[in-house]
Amino acid sequence: MELLSGPIMLACLLLASAGDAGAIPPRRLVEVTDISLPVVSPAGDRVAFRVERPSIERNTWDTAWYVERLDGEPLPVRVAEGGVPLRDSAGLPVPTAAVWSPDGRWIYYRALIDGKIDVWRAATDGSGAGPVTHDAADVREFRIEADGRSIAYSTGATREEVLAAEEGEYNRGIRIDAHTPTSQGLFRSGYTEGRLATQRLGFWFDRVPLLAGVPDHWHRLDLRSGEKRTLTGSEVPRSPIALDDLPETLGTPQRLAQDPESGRIAFLARNQDTEGSPASSAIRLAVLPDRHARTPVECVDPLCVGRPITTVQWRPGSDEVIFTVTDPDEGLAQSVFRWDIRSGAVHPVASATGLLSGGRDERSGCGVSGSRLVCVSAGADQPPRLERIDLATGQRHVIFDPNAALAQDLAVMHPQVMRWTDRNGLHFSGLYFPARRSGSRPPPLFVTYYKCPGFQRGGYGNEWPLASLAAHGIAALCINAVPYRPQAVERYSIGLSAVESAIDVLSKSGAIDPRKVGMGGLSFGTEVTMWTVIHSNLLSAASITSPLLSRTMYLHGSLKGEPFFSGLEATWQAGSPERTPAQWQTLAPAQNLDGIRAPILMQMPEQEYLWALDYAIPLIRRGMADVYAFPNEPHFKFQPKHLLAVNERNLDWFRFWLLGEEDPDPAKRAQYAQWRGMEQQPHGVAQSGP
């Protein structure tokens, strides 16, 4: 097995072992400023973007829109407040981009302010901003007309209608059916569009608000006169082309971008195998002349064939497609290329050790003009910042860096890309934070598994403060999962092999103590963590946040009927516990309690914690688990106070079990008393009942 970390070998990492690094408290990682999708003006001379920063004291997010010139002017202009960030039902922020007016005088955007989602308009010189729609219903989407004089926008049920529906259910009783989220409170228990709302289940376990199924009502608003009228029939704007509009013969579509000038469609697709399922081969990049064409022009240059391409965009006023490669063997590092569809030539533009197309998500795009890109760059030790990239020369210039102080402190920790191979020849990559060394003994190791794109504030889900762990003497490793395997046992076993082989590599080099290893993760990361707990003796402690397969999950999900049963079969190859007992014995933690020998911290969202009680309660009784539920949180926690609490408790948890250390803060005495009691329990032996 081989270990490389960026351009240097592990030995160099050990010499630069963060011994001079100051403490990085979890709060600094929680309070990182994020940058939304940058959008370049029609003239190509300015860029609009939104910044988002959590306020722990007010338990909210502060957002603001900025416009910055691309000709070297040093400071951006704050043009408007951004409102409450909109989120999907899992808790992830909805990508937010401004729309420029054709003359460049204004930017338009949806904003949730004062409990209403309107279309807002901000002057790009910073002279003022305000809503342009004043509808009784929240705006779902909008489009600027070609002449810039009017906008078309859609709405659903009015806010009063939604509130009345919620109150009506409250008074009459809430009927339990296939769409009822029975794992949470039934009345206004989940955040939807910035408020606690009554929710229903959509696809799988997605949540939607009441009356979400009300069809779109489209309106046209004259921006000069303020006159509004409802659109009908052919007046309704045509929807942009979607993935489902592409011919099935092209494979399984992944992403697309339509050139607004010519109508050409650049797309990414996976080939299909002989059984019609997506093949494991890499993404194909191709272009269709228009939405009715069936024969694409494919990129056949070696720089685009067989590559993991994640984004595609058109270069304005040209025959070039800009695409981004996200390399899993390089820790999800990104490179940007441009493909000339006339000549077929592909030209490298720029490369990075982290992300170039987004601060949070490797699938985000850059702002693009005829001559430049504006990208949110982020790396292991580089929090999000905005860069200008010359498309001809590849030269990069930082134009906005709201996290510069944190980046300076993180740089001395020397996080690096780690690459290795397991005994079966599978290749893995991750981001490794060497521990601050305080003695001659190798430090413990913390591992998280799933996805590690860009800046690592806390693994996937941002709950395990990697830099804070390293600064306190615990090496930290975030491992990128290999491409998805449909068989549950196979993908969990691969995750276990990734962890086991990483521990082997690091321990043989003297970088870590293999007897002191902790692990944590969200969603699939939770699943691999628990599989590692049950099927190995690698871990001294674990921390999870998501539920796993359980009878309670099955009971709740069975109310949905066939959609749940087919999802259960596809995800875990399981039917009911009675019909597929062997698979349940293999996968369900409640059936494997005697195999759990490491203490487990469970910090779960209120919407999901009930599904874990099958195994959480027995583990609590055995002194093997400490369990917390966070009110009104979905799959990904997003309330700043909660994020800070889970990060600080995770740091305390692993310092306690891996280092034997306790924070002297008097407020934490009860916490440590609980953990010391767990430490003294005869693990694996059930406590007797009353």
Over 60: is that where the pLDDT of 281 sits?
A: no
397-436: b (≥16 Cβ within 10 Å) or e: eebbbbbeebbebbeebbbbbbbbebeeeeebbbbbbbbb
What confidence score (pLDDT) does residue 679 get?
A: 82
344-383: b (≥16 Cβ within 10 Å) or e: eebeebbbbbbbbbbbbbbebbbbbbeebbbbbbbbbbbb
Range of the domain at 610: 10-26+407-550+588-679
Residue 560 and residue 428 in one domain: no
pLDDT, tens only, 537-568: 999 999 999 999 999 999 999 999 999 999 99
Among 559, 587, 615, give the residue marking a domain's end: 587
| Side chain identity, residue 26 | P
Q: Are 283 and 268 in contact (CB under 8 A)?
A: yes
Residue with tokens 């369990």: 627
Q: Spell out the residues 6+ positions from residue 562 whose beta carbon is closer than 8 angstroms to its own.
A: none
566 part of a folded domain = yes
Among the listed residues 656, 607, 633, 661, the one whose alpha carbon sits nearest the alpha carbon of residue 92? 633
Q: Where are the beta strands (DSSP E) in 442-508?
A: 445-450, 475-480
What confidence score (pLDDT) does residue 22 get?
A: 57
Residue with tokens 């032996």: 685
CATH number of the domain that 488 lies in? 3.40.50.1820
Residue 518 and residue 623 in one domain: yes
The size of the chain, in residues, is 690
Q: What is the pTM of this model?
A: 0.93
323: left (phi over 0), alpha (psi -120 to 50) or beta: beta
Among the listed residues 172, 165, 242, the one whose alpha carbon sits nearest the alpha carbon of residue 209? 165
pLDDT, tens only, 649-682: 999 999 999 999 999 999 999 999 999 999 887 6
Q: Are 515 and 484 in contact (CB under 8 A)?
A: no
> What burial class does residue 539 get, using C-beta atoms within 10 Å of its C-beta: 0-12 exposed, 13-18 middle, 19+ buried?
buried
What confidence score (pLDDT) does residue 37 get?
A: 92
What is the count of structural domains for the chain? 3
Among the listed residues 682, 689, 542, the one whose alpha carbon sits nearest the alpha carbon of residue 626? 542
3 state DSSP class of 555: helix
Among 371, 401, 431, give the residue marking a domain's end: 401
Token pair recorded at residue 678 = 């767990």
Residue 272 and residue 369 in one domain: yes
607 part of a folded domain = yes
Place 515 in a pLDDT band, splitting at 50, 70 and 90. Answer: very high
51 part of a folded domain = no
| Side chain identity, residue 573 | Q
3 state DSSP class of 71: coil
pLDDT, tens only, 163-195: 999 999 999 999 999 999 999 999 999 999 899
Residue 248 and residue 357 in one domain: yes
